[in-house]
Amino acid sequence: MATRATTSMPKDAVTVRLVRREDHADWLRLWAAYHGDGRGRAAAVLDAVTAATWNGFFHGHEPMEALVAEQAGRIVGFVHLVFHRNTSVTGLVCFLQDLYVDAPMRGKGVGRALIEAVYANAQAAGAARVYWHVLETNTAALPLYDSVAVRSGHIVYRKDLRR
């Protein structure tokens, strides 16, 4: 999916835009922090998963996109989107799979700007809904999420089939 919208936050000089290949080092720094930030995730992600994720953003046939928040030439946050069909609505839905903001930038509107950019991109793609999962232990993010969306009431179950 091609990205259709960018969002700016003039007061903080943060811009949200589509990721570019030259963003790899900054994205990788944040990706590593995202997976090691103490929220119960594995401290390291397999190199193959990292490479497949990064490369997926640049394949026209992948239904994935990545947006980054940039301030003064430095990437300070990212959000990953996956578009797919759904059996409860016609057309696409957008799964906000990953959202991460660099620790010093939290509480400054970067997460909200990333979510608003997801909404704009999903709407431009004709998606009927945006949704995401949140770890119940991520209590710092819940007030933001509660202010920009409604809880679905669904409980997520999963069973890993590969290790």
CATH code of 53's domain: 3.40.630.30
Residue 46 located in a structural domain? yes
pLDDT at 134 over 90: no
The residue behind tokens 């960018």 is 6
Q: How many domains does the chain have?
A: 1
Residue 2 located in a structural domain? no
Confidence class for position 40, pLDDT limits 50, 70, 90? very low
Per-residue pLDDT at 163 = 62
Residue 160 located in a structural domain? no
The residue behind tokens 């057309």 is 91
Mean pLDDT for the stretch of residues 113-118 = 96
Confidence class for position 101, pLDDT limits 50, 70, 90? very high
Which residue, among 115, 67, 121, has the nearest Cα to 93 in the 3D structure? 121
Q: Looking only at Cα atoms, what is the longest distance across the chain?
A: 46
Mean pLDDT for the stretch of residues 55-82 = 93
Residue 77 located in a structural domain? yes
Confidence class for position 12, pLDDT limits 50, 70, 90? low
- The single-letter DSSP state of residue 137 is T
Domain of 46 in residue numbering reads as 7-148
pLDDT at 42 over 60: no
Per-residue pLDDT at 37 = 59
Residue 153 located in a structural domain? no
Confidence class for position 143, pLDDT limits 50, 70, 90? confident
Q: Which amino acid is at 57?
A: F
pLDDT at 3 over 90: no
pLDDT at 92 over 80: yes
Residue 158 located in a structural domain? no
Per-residue pLDDT at 160 = 78
Confidence class for position 105, pLDDT limits 50, 70, 90? very high
Distance CA 97, CA 160 (A): 17
Per-residue pLDDT at 1 = 47
Per-residue pLDDT at 44 = 61
Residue 58 located in a structural domain? yes
Residue 155 located in a structural domain? no
**Mean pLDDT over the full length of the chain:** 86
Distance CA 99, CA 79 (A): 4
